[in-house]
Amino acid sequence: MDPSEKREILDFLRSGRQALAGALSGADEATAGRVPASGGWSILGCVEHVAISEAYLLTRLQQAQPAAQSLENRAREARFLERATNRAHPIDAPPLSHPIGRYATVHEAFAAFDAARTQVVRYVENFHGDLRCWSTDHPMIQGPVNCYEILLMIAAHPGRHAKQIVQIRQALQSQSQ
């Protein structure tokens, strides 16, 4: 991976973390576990999902193997990014990442996410070579996925749920008025 791509993915990882932290800023722990009347996940559930997904996808990176040839597909990368950042397109999370009450507080769930994100950043900083030449799998995608694609998904994921958390906060606020 060339240095500019490495900087770009590291910036994207940092901005995803900032988006999630921003959406949680000022969130009330007392209401964070409440599900809006319209259904779906609570704020705590969203953060739990992001934390579990981050840790799981980190294991996919760590277990990746070199591919016989580059798995570069820029059009597929663009589709992954568009889908991951656009909340107009629902994505059903795999059951292994559904929130089930693993964390007692949003603070605890965010700390778990943050610990995994720190490891992902370290992975990128220490990786030498072409991430598109390393293959792994993803629970929602058929066939091999290259590590650059996994990193795009990891980087975009918190921002997607930050938008969801803002919507949940608005719904809960409307309900309480």
Residue 24 has pLDDT above 90, yes or no: yes
pLDDT value of residue 119: 98
Which of 136-140, 167-171, 173-177 shows the lowest per-residue confidence on average (mean pLDDT)? 173-177
Q: What is the mean pLDDT of the chain?
A: 93
- The two three-digit tokens of residue 159, written as one number: 């921002």
What are the φ/ψ torsions at residue 94 (nearest 5 degrees)? -65, 145
Asked if 168 and 46 touch (Cβ cutoff 8 Å), the reply is yes
pLDDT value of residue 141: 85
Read off the pLDDT band of 149 (50, 70, 90).
very high
What letter does residue 95 receive in the DSSP assignment? G
Domain at 3-176, CATH class: mainly alpha
pLDDT value of residue 97: 94
pLDDT value of residue 158: 97
| Average pLDDT value for residue range 43-71 | 95
Predicted TM-score of the model (pTM): 0.94
pLDDT value of residue 110: 98
- Cβ neighbours for 166, distance < 8 A, ≥ 6 positions apart: 23
* Residue ranges covered by each domain of the chain: 3-176
Count how many Cα atoms sit within 13 Å of the Cα of residue 130 in the half-sphere of its side chain: 9
Instruction: Give the CA distances from residue 162 to residues 51, 127, 145, in Å, rounded to whole numbers and listed in that order.
Output: 13, 28, 25
